[in-house]
Structure 1
Amino acid sequence: MTTIAARKAQLEARLDDLRGRLRSIEAELQGHDTADWEDRATESEEDEVLEGMGVSGAQEIRKILAALERIEAGEYGYCTKCGAEIAPERLDVLPFTPFCRNCAV
């Protein structure tokens, strides 16, 4: 069984990882200086993928920050909708989830 302290450390490590990735994505998006139109077209396509990854990462960061707030408030591991305890197996897969299995559907 994973303790709250272990979950918090897991979430904080993931948060650090995501923030580093977002910094890398931002640097990559700002680093284009090519004058060739074919290269620009390729870079544009790559930028769309990077932007999608950035949006996804930012969403996960918000979820992690919310989970860390629930930990601090002593509400982590309980569904924010119905108040039921969230199964540890669910938290193993989605440590930032605010919902039990029943409320997530």
Structure 2
Amino acid sequence: MTDTGKARLETQLAELESRLSRIERDLDEPHDPDSSERAVQMEDDESLEAQARLVTREIASTRRALDRIDSGEYGICVECGEEISAERLEARPEAALCIACARKV
């Protein structure tokens, strides 16, 4: 992987961490004591919690991709050991699976 590709993953990681931080701040905001507003806020919290879980998974995937770069294993499918296509890595630089293995999951 080129330094540009690694920089892209590092930028992606920073953006994801920033997004997670904003979500966590939103979740930490106190709820309105008005019971009619509280129900809406609880629904919003559920949505934010789902977003936080998704972003946390994306952060983990991006970190694993950076680890694979450092170990020289980036671009190799962790399932079958075949090379991951450049097109797939361009679209999803954190991809750990080739298209064939990803379809099996």
TM-score bracket, normalised by the shorter chain, equals over 0.9
Amino acid at match of 2:62: I
Q: Which residue of 1 aligns with 2:96?
A: 98
Percent of aligned pairs sharing the same letter: 40
1:15 aligns with 2:16: no
Instruction: Map 1:74-89; keep pairs closer than 5 Å.
Output: 74-89=72-87
Once superposed, what is the RMSD of the aligned Cα atoms? 1.0
State the TM-score, normalizing by the size of structure 1.
0.93
TM-score by length of 2: 0.93
Asked if 1 retains the 8 angstrom alpha-carbon contact of 2:31 and 2:41, the reply is no
Letter paired with 1:7: G
Partners of 1:47 and 1:33 lie apart in 2 by 10
Query: Cα offset for 1:5?
Result: 1.4
Which consecutive unaligned segments of at least 5 residues does structure 1 have?
Answer: none
Aligned length: 103
Bigger shift: residues 51-60 or 79-88: 79-88
For the residue of structure 1 that corresponds to 2:30, the secondary structure is coil
Contact between 1:4 and 1:71, CA under 8 Å: does it hold in 2? Answer: no
- Structural mapping, 1:33-72, within 5 Å: 33-72=31-70
Distance 1:10 1:70 in 2: 14
